Chain A
């Protein structure tokens, strides 16, 4: 019974099966790369950064190749690989990429080389870059895993390098921050472990046959009682809520961000925060539809709280990095809100924000890192009038800030708009309240910008260097994406949409009485059909 649907999922990806090496490459290149770095003698300090850059760039190239080869009409998993691991327990190395995970994989691929290029290990480069490579491999593993145990293993693996990156290469209260980060996530993971084991066992009891931890199999043949499903969902939800993070489980984030080295903050924001929201889609909405519908009001409420509460707390921060960290709480609130609106627009918007928040907030952390490197402070009150001495940095900061605020035309907007539209469609008043978040986003960022870049240039600020050409060039790909994905997000949406529609369809089929919210009248399709519809008005 279970095998037939697995076969079906493999068969559906038959046209891309020629690229079965893609996912193993995404995970193994950085993983083996970490081993290579470990083998380089410690005294060859000049080698580590270059080797790490080469490894991560090679991984990025594979990710981009996967994006190019991705069949945008296929809603199922592509590049699927499956090898038995512990066959007695039904655990297998099962991987695949669909529209939900594709761009998270690409984002992970792009962010690592940029973070490595933009920053340097302040000391002990060998373990620093080795850990970064492990982190990259682990992140790729989470986004591609299609087996609960494999997912869990990778979900846990990424904790270790991040713990060391914060604890050993961080600043300030780094040990406190690293321990808090580790314990907090472990706390959540304990619930996930219980949940996934219970789920597999209960599923076996319900359908008979062999035990399986296969996500696709469980998704397609879920037969566990509703109450048990809900309990399992709660277990997963606690783990993901810590990771997102959702109020009130968010306080590890500002400490971790603030004390992490710049590259750590960038990767934490860009990649690791997405593990939770990704889990909510893959193991939440997709695998456990009924509990997702059941819990949607609570999670949407937590999303809205995150949006507004995160923005308000961000406004009052005195440390620039902490401010950006709290802005992530707000942005990830939009993602959770969109996902649990259980509409096509909401989930597509959520996925879009996940990727673009990575680009935008990653850029913000790079910029804050540059300021810290020059001024050795992140206290907003110590900074003033930097635009006068660093006009290029100010210009770049302005662009990134406006993208973060959600200015249409830049990449922060399409996702935020769709998430809010979906929320409005799914739960009107949640959408309305969440939309006030756009006011607050403008408030905290513009106020911070004013205090840091505007006003008279005082004291040590007069001596600050502007961005160097090489620093600018490193950021250029991110800036280009910010503009490009703002005016032309269509290629992304085209690839995300089939998978999202399949998920929504799956939820509608699985949950009695649930239909995803749509306009009251038939919508006018204004894309392809429209230009023909109004062809007579277009005078050519």
Chain B
């Protein structure tokens, strides 16, 4: 298939055309143009997929090298693409969801003064993301990895006049760079150890690698993954990244970019199995992140922040799966999550837009009757993420938890914490749905509440330069359903979120389509627990989900228990992790940097100027000596000679 290169090339073409002509195409031309090309990219991905499907299972690889990128001595990498079941699966959902979100943005961004620029960035993002997954070597993946990071930066700070948005963009980029450090050193170490960073060659050359080296390499790449995929300790940028327009949150910060870390470790799967300790670390970090983020999600009032913490938590599940050796389960949950989380974010965008850009859920309530399509599709997404059968999230989450249960070390404990996270997930999502669509009353009608919260609401997903009046929620406001460009993607995603479970049903081996599809590219297969165990585990998971839903129902719908007893400050602040970082950076961090800068200005430069001053002074001081009197010179000369002579005589006599 010579088509593979077209998959990233089409969105890249959109980007290149939109730079000079975006303003001319304007609103909505630029949006539709970008949507069309991303849709084209989806069509090509589908064609490549069908081509691969038609081949025998062990021959489903298309490797296309365009040209050599960086050749230097023994080191050489290409601009080359590798389409295999793993990458083409990624490409399909990136372009599929990408096209839907482009279409949604045509409506969402309508009227924004920087309309065409938005699509310019968004197209570049899709192109970079596709390079990331289709690359045939780690360095080209890194190109995509940094490209999506740069687009994320540009899009988070899209409404840059607001200082908070600009700060959030910078924070995302710099935090990710900490992870990139790991990626780069991992690349160096891998190349020095086995002499290649090409995905095709890596498995063949792992024979002599020691467990220690493999562990170091995997952990270095995992550090990269904790940046991009927002895991402990680097997850702090993602909640702030919600400053970007909501379609960006859906595409970049929920469905695609943040899953790059899972993709990366999947690509390095042969190495992962050489490094069992690294696997344990990954599993525990994922689990800890899942728990911390789920706890934080319980106490957020900003609808997008709930979803942001939820995304972090779900990504933690995926790392739990990878760390437990269940690559397929990780990919499975990544796909279903992409559907339902994109749906939830786009739904929240529809809600936010209908509520004059207010994001505080305490001002929502009973929106169901105003937003029929948004609410129905959102509820389907809620059922999927809460783990209610037969919606997609149930199946994939179940597989992750089963993998944790059957992992070698402390499997039951990992599973138990996983179940707790599942309960919390059902709880916070039910809370969100009740506060938004149900609840006792329409809260924005209460002028006092509106005054109090509307002002305090720290977060504003809006362009301050646009008409301020349009963004002010009034008690008389009547929410309106969004236009068709926004609701059609919601309906499509809701359908996918409902049925995507069929990708990998556990009942019999022949239903495990995803596993059958991915298995040939993986070097190790994962053994699922026996059927009876599976049923018991699934039963417990369902009970946990239902308990979460019921608990939230009593707190937020019936209001039997005051919400304050659950929404503790520690949870609102996500265990103060971000606050601690902020304090370190603003306090000692800045002080050290300033100290070094002062050292440079006073000590290093001061020493130089000091030498200059001493020289000048010495020159001035010595001036009288140059009296021009020959006698003085002669005297000095003789005195010196005598001293010298004396010295020599002294040395000789002893």
Which chain A residues have a beta carbon within 8 Å of chain B's beta carbons? Answer: 180, 183-184, 247-248, 250-252, 309, 312-313, 315-317, 343-345, 348-349, 385, 387-388, 398, 402, 407-409, 414, 417-418, 420-421, 424-425, 431-432, 435-436, 438-439, 442-443, 446-447, 450, 453-457, 487-490, 493-494, 497, 500-501, 518-528, 530-531, 534, 537-540
Complex Cα distance A538/B78, Å?
15
Once the chains bind, are B597 and A313 in contact (CB under 8 Å)? yes
Complex Cα distance A425/B180, Å?
19
Contacting B196 at CB < 8 Å: which of A309, A388, A435, A524? A524
8 A-B pairs closest in CB distance: A344-B73, A523-B195, A454-B166, A316-B597, A519-B195, A408-B143, A524-B196, A424-B188
Once the chains bind, are B72 and A345 in contact (CB under 8 Å)? yes
Once the chains bind, are A409 and B143 in contact (CB under 8 Å)? yes
The answer, yes or no, to whether B582 is at the interface (CB within 8 Å) is: no
Once the chains bind, are A251 and B161 in contact (CB under 8 Å)? no
Contacting B188 at CB < 8 Å: which of A431, A454, A493? A431
- With A438-B184, A450-B170 already in contact, the answer to whether A414 and B160 are too (CB < 8 A) is no
Would you list which residues of chain B between 184 and 223 have a CB under 8 Å from chain A? 184-185, 187-189, 191-196, 198, 200-201, 205, 208
Once the chains bind, are A435 and B181 in contact (CB under 8 Å)? yes
Would you list which residues of chain B between 590 and 613 have a CB under 8 Å from chain A? 593-594, 596-597, 600, 604-605, 607-608, 612
- With A438-B181, A530-B198 already in contact, the answer to whether A523 and B74 are too (CB < 8 A) is yes
Once the chains bind, are A414 and B594 in contact (CB under 8 Å)? no
Once the chains bind, are A534 and B192 in contact (CB under 8 Å)? no
Once the chains bind, are B184 and A526 in contact (CB under 8 Å)? no
Complex Cα distance A539/B205, Å?
24
Contacting B72 at CB < 8 Å: which of A497, A538, A539? A497
Once the chains bind, are A183 and B70 in contact (CB under 8 Å)? no
The answer, yes or no, to whether B494 is at the interface (CB within 8 Å) is: no
Complex Cα distance A179/B364, Å?
68
Q: Mark B272-299, 1 if CB is under 8 A from A, else 0.
A: 0000000000000000000000000000
- Can you list 15 A-B contacts (CB < 8 A)? A313-B596, A315-B593, A316-B594, A316-B596, A317-B597, A408-B146, A442-B173, A455-B160, A487-B79, A490-B67, A522-B195, A523-B191, A530-B65, A538-B64, A539-B1
The answer, yes or no, to whether B69 is at the interface (CB within 8 Å) is: yes
**A residues near B78, Cβ cutoff 8 Å:** 526-527, 530-531
Once the chains bind, are B137 and A439 in contact (CB under 8 Å)? no
Once the chains bind, are B72 and A348 in contact (CB under 8 Å)? yes
Contacting A251 at CB < 8 Å: which of B160, B169, B604? B604
**B residues near A524, Cβ cutoff 8 Å:** 195-196, 198, 201, 205
- With A421-B188, A454-B161 already in contact, the answer to whether A526 and B201 are too (CB < 8 A) is yes
The answer, yes or no, to whether B178 is at the interface (CB within 8 Å) is: yes
Contacting A438 at CB < 8 Å: which of B2, B73, B177? B177
B440 to chain A, nearest CB (A): 40
The answer, yes or no, to whether B254 is at the interface (CB within 8 Å) is: no
- Chain B: which residue is nearest A388 at the CB level? B161
Once the chains bind, are B147 and A455 in contact (CB under 8 Å)? no
The answer, yes or no, to whether B62 is at the interface (CB within 8 Å) is: yes
- Chain A: which residue is nearest B79 at the CB level? A487
Contacting A421 at CB < 8 Å: which of B75, B146, B169, B612? B75
Complex Cα distance A18/B87, Å?
53
- Chain B: which residue is nearest A529 at the CB level? B76
Once the chains bind, are B139 and A456 in contact (CB under 8 Å)? no
Contacting B185 at CB < 8 Å: which of A435, A456, A457, A519? A435
Q: Give 16 A-B pairs besides A315-B593, A316-B593, A525-B74 with Cβ atoms closer than 8 angstroms.
A: A180-B608, A247-B604, A312-B596, A417-B70, A431-B185, A435-B184, A438-B181, A439-B181, A457-B161, A488-B67, A497-B72, A521-B205, A526-B78, A527-B68, A537-B63, A538-B64
**B residues near A251, Cβ cutoff 8 Å:** 600, 604-605, 608
Contacting A526 at CB < 8 Å: which of B160, B185, B198? B198
Once the chains bind, are A418 and B593 in contact (CB under 8 Å)? no
- Chain B: which residue is nearest A385 at the CB level? B161
Complex Cα distance A414/B593, Å?
29
> Main SS of chain B's interface residues?
helix
Once the chains bind, are A439 and B177 in contact (CB under 8 Å)? yes
Once the chains bind, are A309 and B150 in contact (CB under 8 Å)? no
A224 to chain B, nearest CB (A): 30
The answer, yes or no, to whether B13 is at the interface (CB within 8 Å) is: no
- Chain B: which residue is nearest A183 at the CB level? B612
The answer, yes or no, to whether B555 is at the interface (CB within 8 Å) is: no
**B residues near A343, Cβ cutoff 8 Å:** 73
Complex Cα distance A235/B213, Å?
41
Once the chains bind, are A519 and B194 in contact (CB under 8 Å)? yes
**A residues near B469, Cβ cutoff 8 Å:** none
Once the chains bind, are A409 and B147 in contact (CB under 8 Å)? yes
- With A409-B146, A439-B177 already in contact, the answer to whether A520 and B62 are too (CB < 8 A) is no
**B residues near A388, Cβ cutoff 8 Å:** 160-161, 465
Once the chains bind, are A443 and B181 in contact (CB under 8 Å)? no
Complex Cα distance A285/B169, Å?
43
The answer, yes or no, to whether B450 is at the interface (CB within 8 Å) is: no
Complex Cα distance A527/B77, Å?
7
Would you list which residues of chain B between 149 and 187 have a CB under 8 Å from chain A? 150, 153-154, 157, 160-161, 163, 165-167, 169-170, 173-174, 177-178, 180-181, 184-185, 187
B115 to chain A, nearest CB (A): 13
- With A490-B71, A520-B195 already in contact, the answer to whether A432 and B596 are too (CB < 8 A) is no
Once the chains bind, are B192 and A520 in contact (CB under 8 Å)? yes
The answer, yes or no, to whether B61 is at the interface (CB within 8 Å) is: yes
Once the chains bind, are A446 and B70 in contact (CB under 8 Å)? no
Once the chains bind, are A345 and B73 in contact (CB under 8 Å)? yes
**B residues near A489, Cβ cutoff 8 Å:** 69-70
A190 to chain B, nearest CB (A): 14
**B residues near A446, Cβ cutoff 8 Å:** 153, 170, 173-174
Complex Cα distance A421/B181, Å?
13
- With A251-B604, A387-B160, A524-B201 already in contact, the answer to whether A418 and B191 are too (CB < 8 A) is no
The answer, yes or no, to whether B142 is at the interface (CB within 8 Å) is: yes
**B residues near A315, Cβ cutoff 8 Å:** 593, 597
Complex Cα distance A439/B137, Å?
23
- Chain A: which residue is nearest B74 at the CB level? A523
- With A421-B188, A520-B193 already in contact, the answer to whether A537 and B70 are too (CB < 8 A) is no
Contacting B596 at CB < 8 Å: which of A309, A417, A425? A309
Complex Cα distance A248/B607, Å?
10
- Chain A: which residue is nearest B608 at the CB level? A251
- With A248-B604, A407-B146 already in contact, the answer to whether A417 and B73 are too (CB < 8 A) is no
Contacting A494 at CB < 8 Å: which of B71, B153, B593, B600? B71
**A residues near B143, Cβ cutoff 8 Å:** 408-409
Complex Cα distance A500/B64, Å?
30
Complex Cα distance A443/B75, Å?
29
Contacting B69 at CB < 8 Å: which of A424, A431, A443, A487? A487
Once the chains bind, are B70 and A418 in contact (CB under 8 Å)? yes
Once the chains bind, are B196 and A526 in contact (CB under 8 Å)? yes
**B residues near A409, Cβ cutoff 8 Å:** 143, 146-147
Complex Cα distance A183/B615, Å?
12
**A residues near B194, Cβ cutoff 8 Å:** 519-521
**B residues near A530, Cβ cutoff 8 Å:** 65, 78, 198
**A residues near B169, Cβ cutoff 8 Å:** 450
- With A345-B75, A435-B181 already in contact, the answer to whether A312 and B196 are too (CB < 8 A) is no
**B residues near A417, Cβ cutoff 8 Å:** 70, 139, 184
Q: Mark B458-491, 1 if CB is under 8 A from A, else 0.
A: 0000000100000000000000000000000000
Complex Cα distance A79/B526, Å?
64
Once the chains bind, are A312 and B184 in contact (CB under 8 Å)? no
B7 to chain A, nearest CB (A): 15
B184 to chain A, nearest CB (A): 5
**A residues near B181, Cβ cutoff 8 Å:** 435-436, 438-439
**A residues near B608, Cβ cutoff 8 Å:** 180, 184, 251-252
**B residues near A537, Cβ cutoff 8 Å:** 61-63, 200
Once the chains bind, are B76 and A424 in contact (CB under 8 Å)? no
**A residues near B74, Cβ cutoff 8 Å:** 344, 518-519, 523, 525
